[in-house]
Structure 1
Amino acid sequence: MDVDLIFKIAAIGILVAVLNQLLVRSGREEQAMMTTLAGLVTVLMILVQEIHNLFELIRTLFGF
Structure 2
Amino acid sequence: MGMNVDLIFKIAGIGILLAVLNQVLTRSGRDEMATMTTLAGIVVVLFMVIQLVSNLFTTVKTMFQLY
Q: Sort the TM-score into its range (normalised by shorter chain).
A: over 0.9
Superposed counterparts of 1:16-55, under 5 Å: 16-55=18-57
Gaps in structure 2 of 5+ consecutive residues: none
Relative to the length of structure 2, the TM-score reads: 0.92
Gaps in structure 1 of 5+ consecutive residues: none
Aligned identity (percent) is: 62
Other-structure match for 1:15: 17
Cα deviation, 1:35-60, whole Å, max 9, x if unaligned, reads 00001111111110000000000011
Relative to the length of structure 1, the TM-score reads: 0.96
Query: Runs of at least 4 residues of structure 1 off by over 2 A?
Result: none
